């Protein structure tokens, strides 16, 4: 194991609402993820797994606790620095595709590069390269919303890859797909982890998907629990 983990979250707490309506989404959660690791965050709906992912991916901030990325205090960064780090180091794959309707596959894939101000020519070249990797180059000029569900999710993975991220966060990445298509998407994600060394963090209620990861982290009611205590957590 490396001396400095890529993600080091300690004693994370997060609540929503006030008074009688207060809901503790995360309670004293500590999670360390090594570079190149593949980790599944597993739990029922409402267990806090997506909240935890949003915090360690710097999409949200905790109420208490500490968070470091590659040894750097993530909570001390300015909003601009957080955005830059997220765009340079992280890729995101969600259950919902979040593709821009009416625009091409290539434009959807290269959006992160456009945000960073990458020149059009190099943006296009990099976009076509990742589409080639995911066997979608022939769809570059197609409208993203005209594709099948599996193709759309591969476009999303391409978009996640275009910045050459260190970490990919996948939140229920196969939730909207049939079993056969979901298996292809899973294989693609695990190949990125295995072949490119990209750290992979998967949020899922699917125990079969979680079992393919190096390690499983189980959440129940916002608290980390041992797997034996949480049989059926993903039911």
pLDDT for res 49: 94
Q: What is the CATH number of the domain that holds 114?
A: 3.40.50.300
Average pLDDT over residues 132-146: 91
Cβ density class 186-224: b for 16+ within 10 Å, e for less: bebbbebbeeeebbbbbbbbbbebbebbeebbbbbebbb
Residue of 99, 104, 143, 144 whose CA lies nearest to 124 = 104
Please indicate whether residue 74 or residue 184 has the higher confidence score (pLDDT).
74
Spatial separation of the C-alpha atoms in residues 12 and 46, rounded to whole Å: 17
Contacts of residue 112, defined as CB under 8 A and 6 or more positions apart, other chains included, come to: 87, 159, 162, 163
Residue of 110, 69, 91 whose CA lies nearest to 169 = 91
Per the domain annotation, does 123 fall within a domain? yes
Per the domain annotation, does 2 fall within a domain? no
Per the domain annotation, does 233 fall within a domain? no
Please indicate whether residue 174 or residue 220 has the higher confidence score (pLDDT).
220
Per the domain annotation, does 1 fall within a domain? no
CB 158 within 8 A of CB 130: yes
Average pLDDT over residues 29-51: 95
Overall number of domains in the chain:
1
Per the domain annotation, does 52 fall within a domain? yes
Domain that holds residue 125: 7-227
Per the domain annotation, does 235 fall within a domain? no
Average pLDDT over residues 44-56: 93
Please indicate whether residue 78 or residue 150 has the higher confidence score (pLDDT).
78
Where residue 13 falls (left for φ over 0; alpha for ψ -120 to 50; beta otherwise) is beta
pLDDT for res 206: 87
Average pLDDT over residues 61-89: 95
pLDDT > 50? residue 229? no
Share of the chain above pLDDT 70, in %: 95
pLDDT > 60? residue 228? no
């Amino acid at each position: 194991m490396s001396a400095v983990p890529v993600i080091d979250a300690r004693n994370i707490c997060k609540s929503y609402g006030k008074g009688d309506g207060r809901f503790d989404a995360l309670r004293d959660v500590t999670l360390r993820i090594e570079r190149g690791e593949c980790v599944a965050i597993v739990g029922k709906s409402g267990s806090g797994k997506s909240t935890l992912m949003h915090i360690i991916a710097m999409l949200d901030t905790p109420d208490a606790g500490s968070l470091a990325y590659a040894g750097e205090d993530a909570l001390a960064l300015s909003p601009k620095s957080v955005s830059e780090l997220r765009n340079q180091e992280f890729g995101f794959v969600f259950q919902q595709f979040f593709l821009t309707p009416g625009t091409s596959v290539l434009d959807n894939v290269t959006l992160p590069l456009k945000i960073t101000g990458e020149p059009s020519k190099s943006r296009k070249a990099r976009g076509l390269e990742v589409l080639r990797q995911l066997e979608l180059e022939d769809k570059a000029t197609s409208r993203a919303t005209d594709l099948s569900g599996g193709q759309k999710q591969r476009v999303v993975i391409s978009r996640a890859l275009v910045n050459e991220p260190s970490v990919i966060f996948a939140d229920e990445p196969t939730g909207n797909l049939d079993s056969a298509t979901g298996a292809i998407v899973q294989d693609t994600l695990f190949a990125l982890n295995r072949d490119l060394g990209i750290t992979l963090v998967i949020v899922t209620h699917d125990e079969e998907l979680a079992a393919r990861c190096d390690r499983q982290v189980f959440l129940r009611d916002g608290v980390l629990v041992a797997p034996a205590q949480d049989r059926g957590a993903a039911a």
